[in-house]
């Protein structure tokens, strides 16, 4: 939840957007993205640091263009995200491609587009080296064997993770690099999301420092991201200023000893867009059982799956009756599965037809949405300089049918 009023779009603004564009609707506050990016830049101002937006969090092309206008790079995990980034105007050298479990052809496609390639498994490393040798520089993603993150499903650096090449396979990596003459210019790691302990990053960077002795041509060390933001009042979050101070000291000290200047890279996604996003829905029904008062809304996990998938918390407020008496509700969706957004929430009295808002909905909200139950995906709106702009139309029934091929039966 944003801490200051200047970071928050008002209830009246959200209601106006809902009335103009309908619900459900995702709303993104451009200036909040800029605030978050500026915080990162300031925290690491004393080191040679670059930031690449992890666009898997939210790939609307208008968001990508805005990130590019701020000077941010782009972190991608699929060739389609690479292509979206290029269409949004990113220079290939400002795009990182870090896929997982793809075949060599997708890696080759990224090479042909001229982006930074990050390889995370032995098989592809060997295939790429045998095919291209040292003609195209690459990065290598390592698994540091660090358990971190707010949920096991978003922890990516532990011993059983599918991501990265184990640091204990360093001799195997060395043999491939030497025999195929690969040029390795970057090392990468990512331990998980929602990391509030600064020491996790410090442990990670120390491991990366140890790994550099095996690679004489490095230009960058990439620590991924995982910065935690607050989801409710009092929620802990990553102390970015403290992280910047401690990492800058450690990195600058090490960089001075290395054979050439090094850049420090990060790939924030949720940190940049989570708090910029608001998801507004309409209360369809108020349903009381023997033990619970349900608010049934015109959405479900087809639009916002995080509470069901990760047990994640989203603050929910009634923006149609913000001064009403607080009551206890369980907010549920209109899908034919159990799609509970929040149990026993204190919300000002909800009437059928009221608008409710879910905060922190910018990351992995629309991006993970679906057409389950043949429900239509919602619209997206960006507010910039106080003006709302429609940046994605709401689905129509034709969108459900557009790729289906009817056959004679």
Tens-digit pLDDT profile for residues 174-228: 999 999 999 999 999 987 656 667 888 888 888 899 999 999 999 999 999 888 8
Beta pairing class for 138-143 and 116-119: parallel
Q: Spell out a b/e string for 150-183, using b for 16 or more CB atoms within 10 Å of the CB, else e.
A: beeebbbbbeebebbbebeebeebeebbeebebe
pLDDT higher than threshold 70 for residue 319: yes
pLDDT higher than threshold 80 for residue 403: yes
- Annotated binding-site residue? 174: no
Neighbours of 141 (CB within 10 A): 23
Strand partners, 357: 280, 317
pLDDT at 203: 85
pLDDT at 201: 83
Q: What are phi and psi of 146, to 5 degrees?
A: -120, 125
- Annotated binding-site residue? 28: no
- Annotated binding-site residue? 260: no
pLDDT at 182: 97
Active-site residue, selected from the candidate residues 55, 101, 276, 336:
336
Q: How confident is the model at residue 157 (pLDDT cuts 50, 70, 90)?
A: very low
Domains observed in the chain: 30-273 (3.20.20.10), 277-395 (2.40.37.10)
- Annotated binding-site residue? 19: no
Structure tokens at 261: 């200047």
Mean pLDDT lowest for which of 2-16, 142-156, 346-360?
A: 142-156
Q: Please say if 336 is a catalytic residue.
A: yes
What is the residue whose two structure tokens read 């972190």? Answer: 75
pLDDT at 89: 98
Instruction: Provide, rounded to the nearest whole percent, the portion of the chain with pLDDT above 90.
Output: 82
Coil, helix or strand for 41? helix
pLDDT higher than threshold 80 for residue 264: yes
Coil, helix or strand for 326? strand
> pTM, whole model, 2 decimals?
0.93
Question: Prior bond to 182 cis, omega within 30?
Answer: no
pLDDT higher than threshold 80 for residue 400: yes
């Amino acid at each position: 939840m944003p801490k200051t009023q200047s970071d928050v779009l008002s209830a009246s603004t959200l209601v106006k957007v809902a009335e103009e564009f309908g619900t459900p609707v995702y709303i993104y506050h451009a200036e909040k993205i800029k605030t978050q990016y500026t915080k990162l830049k300031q925290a690491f101002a004393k080191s040679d640091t670059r930031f690449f937006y992890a666009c898997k969090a939210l790939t609307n092309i208008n968001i990508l263009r805005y990130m590019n206008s701020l000077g941010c790079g782009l972190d991608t995990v699929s060739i389609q995200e690479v292509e979206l980034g290029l269409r949004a105007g990113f220079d290939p050298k400002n795009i990182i491609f870090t896929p997982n479990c793809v075949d060599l052809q997708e890696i080759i496609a990224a090479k042909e587009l001229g982006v930074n390639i990050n390889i995370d498994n032995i098989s592809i490393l060997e295939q790429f080296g045998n095919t291209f040798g040292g003609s195209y520089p690459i990065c290598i993603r390592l698994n540091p064997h660090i358990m971190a993150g707010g949920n096991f499903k978003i922890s990516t650096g532990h011993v059983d993770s599918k991501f990265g090449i184990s640091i204990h396979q360093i001799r195997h990596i060395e043999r491939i690099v030497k025999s195929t003459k690969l040029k390795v210019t970057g090392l990468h790691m990512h331990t998980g999301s929602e990391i509030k302990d600064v020491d996790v990053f410090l442990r990670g960077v120390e491991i990366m420092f140890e790994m550099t002795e095996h690679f004489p041509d490095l230009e960058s060390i990439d620590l991924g991201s995982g910065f935690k933001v607050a989801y409710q009042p009092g929620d802990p979050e990553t102390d970015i200023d403290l992280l910047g101070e401690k990492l800058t000291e450690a990195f600058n000290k090490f960089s001075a000893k290395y054979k050439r200047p090094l850049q420090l890279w990060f790939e924030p996604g949720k940190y940049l867009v989570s708090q910029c996003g608001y998801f507004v829905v309409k209360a369809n029904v108020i349903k009381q059982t023997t033990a619970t008062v349900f608010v049934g809304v015109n959405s479900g996990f087809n639009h916002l799956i995080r509470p069901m998938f990760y047990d994640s918390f989203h603050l929910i407020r009634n923006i149609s009756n913000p001064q009403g008496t607080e009551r206890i509700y369980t907010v549920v969706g209109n899908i034919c599965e159990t799609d509970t957004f929040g149990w026993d929430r204190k919300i000002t009295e909800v009437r059928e037809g009221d608008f409710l808002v879910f905060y922190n909905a910018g990351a992995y909200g629309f991006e993970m949405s679906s057409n389950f139950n043949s429900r239509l995906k919602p619209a997206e709106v960006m507010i910039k300089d106080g003006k709302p702009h429609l940046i994605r139309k709401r689905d129509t029934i034709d969108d459900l049918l557009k790729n289906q091929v009817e056959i004679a039966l």
